[in-house]
Structure 1
């Protein structure tokens, strides 16, 4: 053992012995190897850490999302233009088709602008990262000469050997399991069309409250199966502090409210009162955008208690992520609450999703929580409204003062997006400020410039 240690030391160091006196011996130790440059290694590590912080997987996902949206919109635009060329009758159809194409061109232009800015930013990052990598490679190659014992090379060889062994092992044992496409269980079948309107009424306050929402509770309490609810934006077309209840459809049509108002707060607006018209009632609780918050409020109509759940960081609120069409945006429609056979959903957008729609399941409880989330490739400001039916998200867009189109869907089971549904709603007023689907009777309830309108949803 002593000899094994002594031999490499002799290779590295030179000893000289000098006797200065009979009682004293002095040894000089000279290192024949260069000192390891720790400062240079630390600089390389710092550069690598900086590069990792600047280039992340999220930046790649942002670009992929924009490209996916563009890839799906361009074929649809080509198909719509071709159809217009084939079937233009110079009358109503031509006007509708041109309006659809104009909306699609606007969406594509917004996507292209974002794609160009994102591409330019990524190009600068790529140039800088390439230079950093080349410098780091050169510096690491320079540092390799200090590895006189070839420790690094042996480690690399061992890693290659381990990787080859793992590949060999997995190649013999891996069996591809057959996969089946996910299937949905919708009691009604596939949503194919809308008929109506079936109901058209100004209610108690004709022309008084432009923004609002109405509908039925999909999971009502016992004895309240036929009740309807109404929420009107009573302050600045933006805020409300109560929900109004009606014992039947005829009561809401003739404007007789029994049992009347359930008050959330005496002030309007204030903490946890309603902001924006996109509200829903489910299982005896009202879900809505909390006042001045990126959060969903749940108001229990029986206990009068309020609980909240915050949405992800970056969620747009306070009228920064509204529904829009070419002529205007609908203020404070950042959050859209929806119900269907399975419960409550919230539709919104975030800064990290570049304004595209985001769908999240809200787990219904006294203290609601957020469940699974789906990201879409449809731009929110190119949409006028959304609703849920049988686990599928549907989006509408403005065609003209008489017509709205359900043009988009996202299946939450398969993840499939469609941009060419072509289901049209005949409007009784130019703007639809809220849409609520009722799974109790398969009706779609719309609130339009203070009018309440309902349509029958047809399933295959």
Structure 2
């Protein structure tokens, strides 16, 4: 019985193995859609990139800076003419006044010539770019026909929906001390962007205004460039107005600290300020602050505490590297001069001290913070409050930290952003005269408006 069952099964298996193989199935796929024009898309992308390169904030800022310089220069000329009319004695005084007015007119003519050339260049650029944009819009409209699945249209609708649902967040308000301007709210600008007299020549330096100027020098600007190895400087360059600085005409010229560079009492590092007709800076190869009187041409020093980091051992840093010889940062605000540094006793955290005027200057009250200096890219003072910045990207710097000397309250969540024109800010000085923040960035001079309220 069992044998009868086994034999048919074996026979069935044998027949199955000997059967003919099945035929393979082949399908032809025909695409009725036109081939996507990848070459045309690449051309559109290239043209868009060229537009972004040609039209950038630097173009607008160049024109704004020239206009601002002309705006400030013209009232000064009018005042000079009025003085001549009132006090002209037809002799020596009149001749000297006419010479001053002649120099003013020469600078104004240079400024107007540069302004006209810049305006004409911008007009041509605007016309060309407008034509390019029309072509780009036409080409993109043609390319959208290939989006048969409507991916782009759905993405655009999704972005509009997200934008409509996004909540409006209130900005973090930084702390403030006793400030005549009110609360520190924001930084706007840049307001000024110029290469000045030596475009691209000196990467490190500092510039700004004297918060306590001598009589007759209320509108002057100063500039210190590190002319030796991007580390040292031996003079301060002066300009009689903002427009003079922008067009690169230094009437007062240079005031030398020493004929040699570098040597005793010359400048080391980019963090320099001018206050009360005297230059404050890191002395050459010393953990000390130098004060150079521009009138008497004399230098005095103020020693910092033992253990202060110097000679590029306590620098500011960004994400990739540190800024050389930024051990000492000098700052000015409504109350005078400050020095920011670090010591081995503070384990690399920022230390802030008030500097009192005098020859020599003296160190007054000192505050110790809990922010690590190498996590900071720069500092400045405003109304007795220390603010620290950090590098976010090549385009953005963030004011993230504050220390209020009146309350000793620290905050790490300020969240105010600075729009940069160059990747690196080597010095940052606040001017209480006009509430401007002056930055020196890769040989360019940039200024921002500090908004109080």
| TM-score, normalised with respect to structure 1 | 0.60
Q: Contact 2:177–2:385 at 8 Å: present in 1 too?
A: no
| Matching residue within 332, 351, 365 for 2:325 | 332
Is structure 2 residue 339 aligned with structure 1 residue 346?
yes
Task: List 4+ stretches of structure 1 deviating above 2 A.
Answer: none
Q: Which residue of 1 aligns with 2:392?
A: 399
Q: Which residue of 2 aligns with 1:225?
A: 218
Deviation of 1:454 after TM superposition, in Å, equals 0.1
| Matching residue within 368, 374, 385 for 2:361 | 368
Question: Hey, what's the Cα distance between the residues in 1 that align with 2:320 and 2:177?
Answer: 38
Q: Per the alignment, in what secondary structure is the counterpart of residue 206 of structure 1?
A: coil
Question: Hey, what's the Cα distance between the residues in 1 that align with 2:280 and 2:184?
Answer: 25
Question: Hey, what's the Cα distance between the residues in 2 that align with 1:405 and 1:364?
Answer: 31
| Matching residue within 187, 191, 206 for 1:198 | 191
Question: Hey, what's the Cα distance between the residues in 1 that align with 2:349 and 2:309?
Answer: 11
Worse overlay, 233-242 or 365-374 = 365-374
Question: Hey, what's the Cα distance between the residues in 2 that align with 1:325 and 1:233?
Answer: 20
Question: Hey, what's the Cα distance between the residues in 2 that align with 1:314 and 1:299?
Answer: 24
| Matching residue within 227, 230, 249 for 1:234 | 227
Deviation of 1:232 after TM superposition, in Å, equals 0.1
Question: Hey, what's the Cα distance between the residues in 1 that align with 2:262 and 2:241?
Answer: 29
Q: Per the alignment, in what secondary structure is the counterpart of residue 216 of structure 2?
A: coil
Q: Which residue of 2 aligns with 1:123?
A: none
| Matching residue within 378, 401, 404 for 2:371 | 378
Q: Which residue of 2 aligns with 1:450?
A: 443
Unaligned runs of 5+ in 1: 1-88, 90-182
Q: Which residue of 2 aligns with 1:52?
A: none
Q: Deviations over 1:125-163 (max 9, x none)?
A: xxxxxxxxxxxxxxxxxxxxxxxxxxxxxxxxxxxxxxx
Is structure 2 residue 415 aligned with structure 1 residue 422?
yes
Q: Per the alignment, in what secondary structure is the counterpart of residue 392 of structure 2?
A: strand
| Matching residue within 425, 435, 444 for 2:428 | 435
Question: Hey, what's the Cα distance between the residues in 2 that align with 1:258 and 1:247?
Answer: 6
| TM-score, normalised with respect to structure 2 | 0.61
Deviation of 1:425 after TM superposition, in Å, equals 0.4
Question: Hey, what's the Cα distance between the residues in 1 that align with 2:249 and 2:177?
Answer: 40
Q: Contact 2:177–2:404 at 8 Å: present in 1 too?
A: no
Question: Hey, what's the Cα distance between the residues in 1 that align with 2:178 and 2:308?
Answer: 31
Q: Which residue of 1 aligns with 2:292?
A: 299
Q: Per the alignment, in what secondary structure is the counterpart of residue 324 of structure 1?
A: coil
Question: Hey, what's the Cα distance between the residues in 2 that align with 1:185 and 1:397?
Answer: 25
Deviation of 1:394 after TM superposition, in Å, equals 0.3
Matches within 5 A, 1:208-287: 208-287=201-280
Q: Which residue of 1 aligns with 2:181?
A: 188
Q: Deviations over 1:57-100 (max 9, x none)?
A: xxxxxxxxxxxxxxxxxxxxxxxxxxxxxxxx9xxxxxxxxxxx
Q: Which residue of 2 aligns with 1:128?
A: none
Q: Per the alignment, in what secondary structure is the counterpart of residue 281 of structure 1?
A: strand
Question: Hey, what's the Cα distance between the residues in 1 that align with 2:249 and 2:446?
Answer: 17
Q: Contact 2:387–2:399 at 8 Å: present in 1 too?
A: yes
Deviation of 1:445 after TM superposition, in Å, equals 0.1
Deviation of 1:185 after TM superposition, in Å, equals 2.8
Question: Hey, what's the Cα distance between the residues in 1 that align with 2:331 and 2:269?
Answer: 14
Deviation of 1:420 after TM superposition, in Å, equals 0.4
Aligned residue pairs total 280
Question: Hey, what's the Cα distance between the residues in 2 that align with 1:324 and 1:443?
Answer: 24
Q: Which residue of 2 aligns with 1:389?
A: 382
Q: Deviations over 1:233-279 (max 9, x none)?
A: 00000000000000000000000011010000000000010000000
Deviation of 1:184 after TM superposition, in Å, equals 4.2
Q: Per the alignment, in what secondary structure is the counterpart of residue 250 of structure 1?
A: helix
Q: Deviations over 1:141-191 (max 9, x none)?
A: xxxxxxxxxxxxxxxxxxxxxxxxxxxxxxxxxxxxxxxxxx943110111
Question: Hey, what's the Cα distance between the residues in 2 that align with 1:426 and 1:240?
Answer: 28
Q: Per the alignment, in what secondary structure is the counterpart of residue 378 of structure 1?
A: strand
Q: Per the alignment, in what secondary structure is the counterpart of residue 323 of structure 1?
A: coil
Deviation of 1:366 after TM superposition, in Å, equals 2.2
Q: Per the alignment, in what secondary structure is the counterpart of residue 330 of structure 1?
A: coil
Deviation of 1:333 after TM superposition, in Å, equals 0.2
Q: Per the alignment, in what secondary structure is the counterpart of residue 376 of structure 1?
A: strand
